[in-house]
Amino acid sequence: MAEELSDGTTRIRVAIADVDARVPKGPLLDAHAARNTVSVYAGDAVLPMLPERLSPELTSLVEGADRLAILAEMVVDAGGRTRDCAVYRAVVRNRAQLDYAARHCTEMEDRARRVERLLRKLAAMDLVQDRVGDVFEAIVTGASPRGTWVRVRHPAVEGRVVRGEHGMDVGDHVRVRLVHLDPERGFIDFARA
Q: Most confidently modeled of 39-53, 55-69, 93-107, 173-187?
A: 173-187
pLDDT of residue 63: 78
- Residues facing residue 66 across a β-bridge: 93
User: Percent of the chain having pLDDT more than 70?
Assistant: 75
For the 100-192 domain, the top CATH level (class) is: mainly beta
Mean pLDDT of the chain: 81
Within 8 A by CB and 6+ apart from 145, the residues are none
pLDDT of residue 52: 63
pLDDT of residue 133: 97
pLDDT of residue 57: 62
What is the pTM assigned to this prediction?
Answer: 0.45
- What is the residue extent of each domain of the chain? 2-93, 100-192
pLDDT of residue 27: 66
Q: Spell 88-122 as b/e; 16+ CB within 10 A means b.
A: eeeebeeeeeeeeeeeeeeeeeeeeeeeebbeebe
At residue 106's C-alpha, the angle toward residues 145 and 64, to 5°, is: 75
Provide the 10 A C-beta neighbour count for residue 18.
19
Distance from chain centroid for Cα 89: 23
pLDDT of residue 193: 95
End-to-end CA distance of the chain: 51
